[in-house]
């Protein structure tokens, strides 16, 4: 079944080409949408930009993650819109439009996996593949009221997918319920290499302080209580040790942005300078910033050095206790928010989202809270290799 009707504007308008899947398997009966960064046999990989699409050939094979899902019986229904080259967190594509956020139609869906989140939240697919480099599964999952997983970095083969920043790129996915996200986890993850820690879980106060206002903070507390009913009472703690970075999460954000930008320019700089593609607002400025960062060898060296220290610190914390935190600072911003204001919000969100990015640890986000009638996610970070146990825990919390 290939999707013919797309009221949410979530899918790329490629000619419908059937994609073979197994008749039986653990995902039999489920439909799958795929972010247009992954190769799907019979389709181009447009990466959210018309210049990229124009030079793209038709893929002859499926990306390994896509193939694994098809072999498990999932039925492909289409390729979804992504922000340009995946370098955004908003979900607004200047060329192909903004997919509808079914949970809050006047607000952004979040990016760069915007189409996948929209299609899943709106019931056009049972689950959808996205990617998460800086938060592109976790943020749209929170905005659209979905379960989402950023797995342990490197645990799932990301070949056949356009790289953005290899030190951070991960395969991720969305589902409307914990059962479905768990079924996909069983197919893609294999066996865990680590158990969940048995220390008292920590609710990250410094992350909580980044939430946009007191009303939003209050809206998250019932979700925290629901999680605590399963994992035990949390104790307040901070993740950003001042001895490593004096400005805390503000410094961590700079580490993330600098290291990510240097890799992004390594991946795409030559192509950008050769083709001079037309990028939409915000995306163009970020690539220009990446160009400048990549030329500053001293800044890059300092950022990677601090990155190693921060990464080690977070992993030590998460080896002893679960880390509980808001997924993003607030509900989805209004779609009419000016670009400049969205950039300010993006940086605030990345200050939270970079924790899993820098550490490479798995993070599951759950749609357990609402504010002003809109979804608001709460997350748990676990040790490296504990992904399946983390997904199972999300199911128990949802049932609490």
Residues annotated catalytic, as ranges: 35, 112, 136
Cα 195–chain centre separation: 23
CA nearest 76: which of 121, 127, 123? Answer: 127
CA nearest 371: which of 211, 164, 147, 253? Answer: 211
3-state DSSP helix/strand/coil % of the chain, to nearest 5 = 40, 15, 45
| 75-80 sheet: strands from edge to edge | 75-80, 31-35, 127-131, 171-175, 147-150, 363-371, 374-381, 323-326, 202-204, 235-237
Give 192's contacts (C-beta < 8 A, 6+ positions apart).
385, 386, 387, 388, 389
Classify strands 202-204 and 323-326 as parallel, antiparallel or unpaired.
parallel
Cβ 134 vs Cβ 358: under 8 Å: no
> Which tokens is 377 given?
């996610």
Cβ 264 vs Cβ 290: under 8 Å: yes
> Which tokens is 318 given?
């998460």
∠ Cα 40 92 32 (to 5°): 30
Run of H or E including 359: helix 339-359
Largest CA distance in the chain: 56
CA nearest 285: which of 351, 352, 342? Answer: 342
């Amino acid at each position: 079944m290939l999707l013919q009707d797309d009221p949410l504007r979530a899918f790329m308008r490629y000619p419908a080409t059937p994609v073979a899947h197994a008749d039986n398997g653990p995902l039999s009966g489920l439909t799958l949408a795929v972010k247009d960064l992954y190769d799907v046999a019979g389709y181009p990989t447009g990466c959210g930009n018309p210049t990229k699409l124009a030079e793209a050939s038709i893929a002859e094979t499926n990306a390994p993650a896509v193939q694994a899902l098809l072999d498990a019986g999932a039925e492909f229904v289409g390729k979804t819109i992504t922000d340009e080259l995946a370098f955004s967190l908003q979900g607004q594509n200047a060329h192909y439009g903004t997919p509808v956020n079914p949970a809050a139609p006047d607000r952004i869906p979040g990016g760069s996996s915007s189409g996948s989140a929209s299609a899943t939240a709106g019931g056009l697919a049972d689950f959808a593949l996205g990617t998460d480099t800086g938060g592109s599964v976790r943020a749209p999952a929170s905005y659209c009221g979905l379960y989402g997983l950023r797995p342990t970095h490197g645990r799932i083969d990301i070949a056949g997918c356009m790289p953005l920043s290899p030190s951070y790129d991960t395969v991720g996915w969305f589902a409307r319920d914990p059962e479905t996200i768990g079924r996909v986890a069983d197919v893609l993850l294999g066996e865990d290499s680590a158990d969940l820690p048995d220390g008292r879980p920590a609710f990250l106060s410094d992350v909580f302080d980044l939430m946009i206002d007191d009303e939003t903070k209050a809206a998250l507390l019932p979700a925290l209580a629901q999680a605590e009913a399963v994992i035990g009472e949390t104790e307040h703690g901070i993740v950003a040790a001042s001895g490593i970075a004096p400005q805390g999460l503000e410094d961590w954000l700079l580490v993330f942005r600098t290291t990510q930008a240097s890799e992004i320019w390594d991946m795409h700089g030559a192509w950008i300078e050769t083709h001079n593609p037309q990028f939409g607002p915000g995306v163009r400025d970020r690539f220009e910033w990446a160009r400048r960062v990549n030329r500053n060898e001293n800044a890059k060296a300092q950022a990677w050095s601090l990155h190693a220290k921060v990464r080690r610190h977070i992993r030590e914390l998460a080896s002893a206790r679960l880390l509980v935190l808001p997924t993003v600072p607030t509900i989805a911003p209004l779609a009419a928010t000016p670009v400049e204001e969205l950039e300010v919000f993006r940086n605030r969100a990345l200050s939270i989202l970079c924790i899993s990015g820098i550490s490479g640890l798995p993070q599951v986000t759950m749609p357990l809270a609402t504010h002003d009638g809109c979804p608001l996610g709460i997350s748990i970070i676990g040790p490296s290799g504990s992904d399946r146990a983390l997904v199972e825990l999300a199911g128990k919390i949802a049932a609490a």
